[in-house]
Structure 1
Amino acid sequence: MTAQEHGVANEGVEGEKAVLERHENFTQRLAELREQATALLAELERRTEPQVPEEQGTAARSVAPPATGSPVVAGASNTAADTTYLDSGAPNGALYVTGDARGVSGVARNGPGLHGLSYRDNGVFGYAAPTSSGAGVRGESTAGHGVYGYTDSGVGTLGVGVRGMGVLAFSQGREALNAYSVEGSGVVAGTNSGSAAAVLAENSSGSPGGVAVVALGQSGTGLYASGGQAAIQLGRSALTGPPTSGFHVAGELVLDAGADLYLCKVTGSPGTWKLVA
Structure 2
Amino acid sequence: MADRSESGTLEGEEFVMFYKALTQRDEVFKIFQDFSKDGKKLTLLEFVDFLRQEQLEVENTEEMAMDLIARYEPSETAKKRHALSIDGFLMYLCSVDGAIFNVSHEPVYQEMKQPLCHYFISSSHNTYLMEDQIRGQSSVEGYIRALMRGCRCVEVDTWDGPNGEPIVYHGHTFTSKIFFKDVISAINKYAFRVSEFPVILSLENHCSVEQQDTMAQILKSILGEKLVTGTLDGRIPVHLPSPEELRGKIILKGKKIGSLEDSYGEPSVDPDGEVSEEEDGAEVDEENIHNEDKKESKA
Between Structure 1 and Structure 2, the one with more helix by share is 2
TM-score by length of 1: 0.26
TM-score w.r.t. structure 2 length? 0.25
Which protein shows a greater Rg? 2
